[in-house]
Copies of this chain bind each other. A is one copy, B any other.
Amino acid sequence: MTGEPMTATTTPTAQALMARRRATLGPHSPTFYDEPLHLVSGEGVWLRGADGVDYLDAYNNVPHVGHCNPVVVRAIADQAARLNIHTRYVHEGVVDYAEALLATFAPHLDRVFLTSSGSEANELALRIARQHTGSTGVLVSDFGYHGTTTSLAELTTGLTVQEPLGSHVRALRVPDLATDPRAEEVVLAEALDEARAAVASLVESGHGVSALLFDPLFSTEGLPRVPSGYVKAVVGLVRSAGGLVIADEVQSGFGRTGLRMWGHELFDITPELVTLGKPMGNGHPLGAVVTTGELLEEFGSANLYFNTFAGSPVSAAAGTAVLREMTDRELRTSALKVGDRARVLLEELAADHPCVQAVKGTGLFFGLEFTDPGGKPDAGLTRRVVEDMRRRGVLISRVGRHDNVLKIRPPLVFEHDHLTLLAERLTASLGALEAA
């Protein structure tokens, strides 16, 4: 695949297919773009549309080691042909995988519950925290998202759900030095006042504090640059109230932040629970809760937890292949280098384009935050950039409370040449949209 820019058009096939899709999955199953993109194949960082266009994938984090990675595909195919079974029987592959996965964590995080998705992982982590603490209160970040279930909908503010925020939930506004003009210590002090009040309110309400649940990158929130010490201080407040710390690494894990394996290593903290999902099996459904021996013992001895699909030999083979590819291709180092270079290129773009308020992100998860000439968040421009980039053969998206942050989060095999292509087209896109 080449990545030559072409004008994408929705083919008659795509329209007919969308009609069939609406008649089965319904009209609300979300799709990207004004005219949804019909895909037929993928390879590495490239996705081929039914329109014949090869799109540079600068968006998808699930195909972590590349679309259709041959090592992962072979591992899945070979194991699926040999044996796929649940964990009530014993299989070597799942134990090998558990050992390899746990070796990437700090020593105290030495046990794993495998699940079928990040939603199942966050559900389980909350069950463990509630049972351990005897409390129900949960602290989350405002405009966050952690999964599709009822308990998770009750703490979701980052997308539309009908469930009201639970009376046991407090959502903290995450401070962002990238867009807040005030001094860091002022921003930090205000944010910690809010956190202190939230913890006090949970305690006073009788819910108490079972857990802080947070994505170390605050992805859905728009990749804020949080004041130094903020996360550690909130963790301290939660611990003082008896709560546990759950790092939701569904988006920030597996080297996404560059060099470090886990996003929570950005901060000087030690979570008791870490939840995993999306990139874990390169698209094969796989999630996990990594925790301590003590918490596993407490929960496991008091509850029968069995997850039919989780920990099958095929999912273990997929997970193992992802870890192996990450090591063999030094993808954590690559994410650091390409990510750092990305921020340099984005800063250059920002200098040339006053619509760019800030460069956001860490490692291989980055974006630009746009404002209008009056300094207000510019969701319209952000949307136009995303649509225009698609026409230029590059897939990105948008995120954040005001929907005004580009979401650029490619597979970890995204290299310097791909970044150069992305930057060229983003430059052209911003130039064209400014001229329009």
Once A84-B68, A302-B160, A303-B162 are accepted as A-B contacts, the answer to whether A285 and B315 lie under 8 Å apart by CB is: yes
Residues of B within 8 Å of A394, CB to CB, are: none
Contact A84 B301 (CB under 8 A): no
Residues of B within 8 Å of A2, CB to CB, are: none
Q: Lowest 10 A-B CB distances belong to which pairs? A: A28-B300, A77-B77, A24-B98, A285-B309, A285-B285, A84-B283, A123-B149, A26-B296, A38-B90, A159-B304
Residues of B within 8 Å of A311, CB to CB, are: 25, 29
Once A148-B124, A148-B307, A308-B277 are accepted as A-B contacts, the answer to whether A25 and B87 lie under 8 Å apart by CB is: yes
Contact A308 B118 (CB under 8 A): yes
Residues of B within 8 Å of A301, CB to CB, are: 28
* A343 in the interface (beta carbon within 8 A): no
Q: Bound complex: CA of A76 vs CA of B84, how far in Å? A: 13
In the complex, the count of this chain's copies comes to 2
Contact B24 A95 (CB under 8 A): yes
Using a CB-CB cutoff of 8 Å, which residues 301-357 of chain A contact chain B?
A: 301-309, 311-312, 314-315
Once A26-B300, A285-B315 are accepted as A-B contacts, the answer to whether A90 and B151 lie under 8 Å apart by CB is: no
| Neighbour of A82 across the interface among B41, B159, B282, CB < 8 A | B41
* A359 in the interface (beta carbon within 8 A): no
Contact A117 B161 (CB under 8 A): no
Residues of B within 8 Å of A23, CB to CB, are: 110
Which B residue sits closest to A101, measured CB to CB? Answer: B24
